[in-house]
Amino acid sequence: MISLLLILISALFFVGIVTKLKAKIAARKMPSIFQPLYDVIRLFKKGTVYSPVTSIIFKVAPILYFSSILSAVFFIPFAGEAGLLSFYGDFVFFAYLLAIGKFLMIIAAMDTGSGFEGMGANREALYSMLVEPAFFILAGSVALFTNNISFNELFANLHISTNLSYTIGIASIYVLFYIAMVENSRMPVDDPKTHLELTMVHEVMVLDNSGFDLALIHIATWLKFAIYGSLISNFFIKSDWNIYEQIAIYLGVQFIFACLVGIVEAFKARNKMNKNPQWIIVLSAIAVVTFLTALIITQKITLH
Amino acid sequence: MEELNKILKIKNNQSVDLKDINIFSYTNFYQIVINLLKQHENHCLNYFAYKTSKGLHFIMAIGDDKSHNILLLSHILKSDEKPELKSLTKEIFALHIFEREIHENFGVNFIEHPWQKPVRFAHNRADKKMQINDYPFYSIKSEELHEVGVGPIHAGIIEPGHFRFICNGENVLHLEIQLGWQHRGIEELFLDKENNLQRNLLAENIAGDTVIGHTTAFAQTIEALADKHLSEQRHIERALALELERIAIHTGDISALCTDIAYHFGSNVFGILRTAIINFTQFWCGNRFGKSLIRLGGTHFPFTEELKVELLNVILKFEKQFEEMIDITFRLPSVQNRFDFIGIISPEQAQTIGTVGLSARMSQIERDIRVTHPNIAYQKFHYETITAEKGDVFARFLLKKKEIRKSIAWIRNVMENYKFDASPDEKPNYQLELQPNRFAISLVEAWRGEVCHCAISDEYGKLKHYKIKDPSMHNWKALELSLRNVEISDFPINNKSYNLSYCGHDL
């Protein structure tokens, strides 16, 4: 329960912090940290417009997308304590909950019949497909390392103490960070700020969404960021600390994560579109390194 | 060749008697033009037609970069002749746009022209039945390919234009650009408005980003037609404004390029730097884009020694920050990676399609009016042109940077070696008497490339024809070619790196 609450709270401010920091670095006047919230409230007050060529898919997709992400939140553990839902092998379920939401958004984009949206859907599908192995290899290696395969126990039994296990820790955090960037269509894969339809990935897919639906999509993005932030924070938080320390560290990690997103986005140009697949595959490659390290630590393979 | 000697040669900003422009038979004209334009130092500045009592009078102006001359030649299509001419485009591709324009306006059929598409759907076009929505796009019938149409209404705040891509997956096979949505009939308005002040204001609004370029060309044309000679300082002031415009727009372009690759840091800093320059222009004349600065026959805002101090301060500050930021930007691997090898135009291609200005210089072609056809200001203070090598987005980016540096150096040179006199003896004169039956031409190297204005007066000293050519006329083709076999997601940075004018083209 506490995990759910914390994720919801940090989700509210995550994008606000990123935007504020980006503006600060780029020497711009900063929007309020609550600006994303105001935007969503404004959207909720508006009516929704549907194009006459769309079908029921387009109408239900945002709600299903949102609910799939929200249910994924239930699986996130906090400091060795299981999330609302937890079962044997739940991280596979978690990954495909996210995937099904994405799948719905992709077919909804195709449903509009717009040339741009088809293009965006096509790109999003490719990148999601490429980023999937990175997540599974990473989760697999942590599972192998701790000899557990549910989210909760996975982190509860994660003891980072030896040099090799630091490798796993650092590589996992790095990979999770960039998976979060890809999944949320941020830099360097996609630029959420762009106005150029031809270079968009995620933004172009939701061009036809408006009002209530668009608000849900925005909230889903916040949640996704908070989910990955929580996963990362679980690498740091130890279960034997008292609850206030844990919460403080958790919020600290979320804050630093948001700042890092802002910094990475401010000081970098985005990738060439055709370099993106290559770049995403590198994440999988790093995950493989983690996997090998886990094999060495658990002495499944021995070095001579 | 004997015919070549009959061609009238003049300098930039000169006017000549219409009778002195030799009228050739079309067969001779055809041969001479091909012979001339096959040589790389020549390029067509303007080729247009206008109606006379005898029929259609065609005038072509060719710029010779070596001898700094402008060659003028003409031919006549009599009204009782069949409106058909053999197309020059097949031999000299760069002329395709001029022939299309003449075809659209006068219904002259150019035989063997590859495709006489409408240029801008002018109000006074010959075939009124042809509507802008019926533009004949090139298309390929195939199961695998798809078409993407962008515009004329765009997501950002830019001018209207329609882009039609034929794509194979993410790759663009062919891009076609359809313009004309901005057509206002400016050339006609120049004839309708008899007040020179009104014309002056019109010239300022040909293209909002080339105010100084177009207005200078206009003023020089009309002054040449009226045989009015201004003092040296007026010319230097105009050139100064022109260089300031170049610095401001190039900096703005670099900022916009940074935006398009999501490098917000660079985007904001260059945006701020641009403001410093245009604010100086406002300090000088009251308008950030230099409107009201250039006037026929004089100026309300002479450059003074106080302005000189202020300008030196502004560029000193600008230069320091610009150098620091440009260094960071150009060394950033992700920026280099994004710009390199995208949208390459080879020197041969650039030569063939007849690019001018920055779009020519990015592909090693030294085409610069300030050097080849300098006016008084650039004769006194020389400018050396610079080129880039690769012809890709990075080359255009690099060239903008270098041109800013060059312009700053030029301005410094003027500031140090010229004493400005503030005495307001040359007020604008809108009552200039045009000499009858004359032709005047003026070339200006605006930030985008050469702006060419031509004017013809009738026997009463009234304007009979006014012809404007923005560099974008030539250069849109370069953008189309840049996109061949390039990813469609690279279109925005290509487009921005050229930053061509829609309204300059549509007139």
- Residue-wise pLDDT tens digits, B304-315: 888 899 999 999
At A103 the pLDDT is: 92
Q: What b/e sequence results for B465-478 when a residue is b if at least 16 CB atoms lie within 10 Å of its CB, and e otherwise?
A: bbbbbbbbbbbbbb
One-letter amino acid at B397 equals F
Answer whether B139's CB lies under 8 Å from B147's CB. yes
Helix, strand, or coil here: B115?
Answer: coil
- State the pLDDT at residue A100: 93
The 10 Å Cβ neighbour count of residue B91 is 15
* pLDDT of B274 higher than 90: yes
Q: Backbone dihedral region of B222: left (phi > 0), alpha (psi from -120 to 50 degrees) or beta?
A: alpha
- Report pLDDT digits (tens) over B179-197: 888 899 899 999 888 888 9
Interchain contact, B155 vs A197, CB within 8 Å? yes
Residues of A in contact with B263 (CB under 8 A): 268-269
Q: What is the mean pLDDT of residues A221-239?
A: 88
Tokens of B352: 């063939």
Q: What is the mean pLDDT of chain A?
A: 87
CA distances from B429 to B193, B219, B242, B294 (A): 16, 11, 21, 12
State pLDDT tens for residues A84-114.
Answer: 888 888 888 988 999 999 999 999 999 998 8
Per-residue pLDDT reduced to its tens digit, A182-219: 888 888 888 888 888 888 888 888 888 998 999 999 99
Across B136-155, average pLDDT: 86
For chain A, helix (H) and strand (E) counts, in that order, are 11, 0
From A191, A195, A198, residue closest to B150, measured CB to CB: A198
Q: Is the pLDDT of residue B418 over 90?
A: no
Q: How far apart are CA A140 and CA A294, in angstroms?
A: 9
Nearest one of A194, A196, A173, A209 to A49, comparing CA atoms:
A209
Reduce the DSSP state of residue B385 to 3 states and report it. coil
pLDDT digits (tens, 9 = 90+) for B489-500: 888 889 989 999
Domain limits for position A155? 2-297
Is A304 within the bounds of a domain?
A: no
Angle at B339 between CA B333 and CA B345, to 5 degrees: 145
Contact A265 B262 (CB under 8 A): yes
The answer to whether residue A118 is domain-embedded is: yes
Give the mutation candidate from B164, B166, B254, B264 for the A interface (greatest A CB count, under 10 A): B264
Whether the CB of A265 is below 8 Å from some CB of chain B: the reply is yes
Highest mean pLDDT among A160-174, B349-363, B417-431: B349-363
Q: Is B199 helix (H, G, I), strand (E, B) or coil?
A: helix
How near does any CA of chain B get to the CA of A198, in Å? 5
Map tokens 């177009």 to a residue: B214
pLDDT band, residue B424 (cuts 50/70/90): low
Residue B149 scores a pLDDT above 90:
no
- The confidence score (pLDDT) of residue B421 equals 82
A268 and B489: CB-CB below 8 Å? no
Which helix H or strand E contains B46, and what residues bound it?
strand B42-51
Among B265, B332, B489, beta carbon nearest to A199: B489
Indicate if the pLDDT at residue B246 is higher than 90: yes
Over pLDDT 70: what percentage of chain A? 98
Using CA atoms, how far apart are residues B145 and B51, in angstroms rounded to an integer?
Answer: 45
Preferred mutation among A190, A197, A272 to probe B, highest tally of B CBs within 10 A: A272
**Whole-angstrom Cα Rg for chain B:** 22
Taking only residues 128 to 147 of chain B, the set having a beta carbon closer than 8 angstroms to any beta carbon of chain A reads 146-147
In a domain, A303, yes or no: no
The contacts of residue B480 (CB under 8 Å, 6+ apart) are B175, B176, B177
Q: Is residue A144 part of a domain?
A: yes
Q: DSSP string spanning A239-264?
A: TTS-HHHHHHHHHHHHHHHHHHHHHH
The angle that helices B305-331 and B232-260 make with each other, rounded to 10 degrees, is: 30
Mean pLDDT of A147-160: 76
Q: Is B231 in contact with B464 (CB distance < 8 Å)?
A: no
Specify which residues B195 forms β-bridges with. Answer: none
Domains of chain B: 2-119 (3.30.460.80), 202-471 (1.10.645.10)
Alpha carbon distance B37, A188 (integer Å): 47
The phi, psi pair for B396, rounded to 5°, reads: -70, -40
Using the predicted structure, report yes or no on whether residue A165 has a pLDDT greater than 80.
no
| Chain B residue numbers touching A268 (CB-CB < 8 A) | 262-263, 332, 334
DSSP B154-192: -SSS----EEEEEEETTEEEEEEEE--TT---HHHHHHH
The whole-number pLDDT of residue B1 equals 58
Nearest to B215 by CA among B203, B207, B224: B203
pLDDT on residue A235: 83
Instruction: Answer whether A196 sits within 8 Å of B155, measured CB to CB.
Output: yes
Q: Any idea which residue has 């610069």 for tokens?
A: B368
CB < 8 Å to B264, chain A: 22, 25-26, 28, 193, 265-266
pTM of the model: 0.89
Distance from CA of B57 to the nearest CA of A (A): 45
pLDDT value of position B244? 93
Domain-located, residue A94 = yes
Residue B289, CB half-sphere, CA atoms under 13 Å: how many? Answer: 14
Asked if the model's pLDDT at residue A303 lies above 80, the reply is no
Instruction: Tell me if A26 and B265 make a contact (CB, 8 A cut-off).
Output: yes
| Residues of B (468-507) whose Cβ lies below 8 Å from A | 487-492
Contact map slice: B 155-184 vs A, CB within 8 A:
155-156, 170
Residue B452 has pLDDT above 70, yes or no: yes
The answer to whether A160 and A236 are in contact (CB under 8 A) is: no
Note the pLDDT of residue A66.
95
Q: What percentage of chain A exceeds 90 in pLDDT?
A: 38
Distance in angstroms (rounded) separating the CA atoms of residues B362 and A135:
45
**Distance, CA of A112 to CA of A207 (rounded, Å):** 10
A302 in a domain, yes or no? no
Is residue A252, in this structure, part of any structural domain at all?
yes
Share of chain B above pLDDT 70, in %: 99
Of B133, B99, B128, the residue nearest B116 (C-alpha): B99
Three-state SS at A221: helix
Q: Is A79 exposed, middle or buried (CB count within 10 Å of its CB: 0-12, 13-18, 19+)?
A: buried
Q: Pull the structure tokens for residue B284.
A: 């000088």
Of the candidates A119, A195, A266, the beta carbon closest to that of B265 is on A266
Q: Is A28 on the interface with B (CB under 8 A)?
A: yes
With respect to residue A102, please indicate whether it lies within any of the assigned structural domains.
Answer: yes
Tokens matching residue A32 = 């309020």
A151-160, B39-48, B370-379: segment of lowest average pLDDT: A151-160
Question: In this predicted structure, what is the pLDDT of residue B142?
Answer: 87
**Which backbone phi and psi does A100 adopt, to 5 degrees?**
-70, -35
Count Cβ atoms below 10 Å from residue B160 Cβ, excluding itself: 15
Residues of A in contact with B146 (CB under 8 A): 115
Q: Does A115 touch chain B (CB under 8 A)?
A: yes
Q: Which of B165, B172, B263 to mutate to test the interface with A (most CBs of A within 10 A)?
A: B263
C-alpha atoms less than 13 angstroms from C-alpha of A122 in its C-beta half-sphere: 12
CB contact under 8 A, B490 and A195: no
Using a 10 angstrom Cβ sphere, with 0-12 exposed, 13-18 middle and 19 or more buried, the burial of residue B371 is middle
If you average pLDDT over each of A85-89, A200-204, B251-255, B374-378, which comes out highest? B251-255
Q: Is pLDDT at A162 greater than 80 in this prediction?
A: no
Checking if the pLDDT of A1 tops 80, the result is: no
Please tell me the total count of domains within chain A.
1
A249: tokens are 């560290």
pLDDT tens digits, one per residue of A63-91: 999 999 999 999 888 877 777 888 888 88
Question: How far apart, in whole angstroms, are the C-alpha atoms of residue A69 and residue A79?
Answer: 21
Q: How far is A34 from chain B (nearest CA, A)?
A: 21
Q: Which two tokens stand for residue B395?
A: 């080359």
The HSE-up count of residue A292 (CA atoms within 13 Å, CB side) is 7
pLDDT at A142: 84
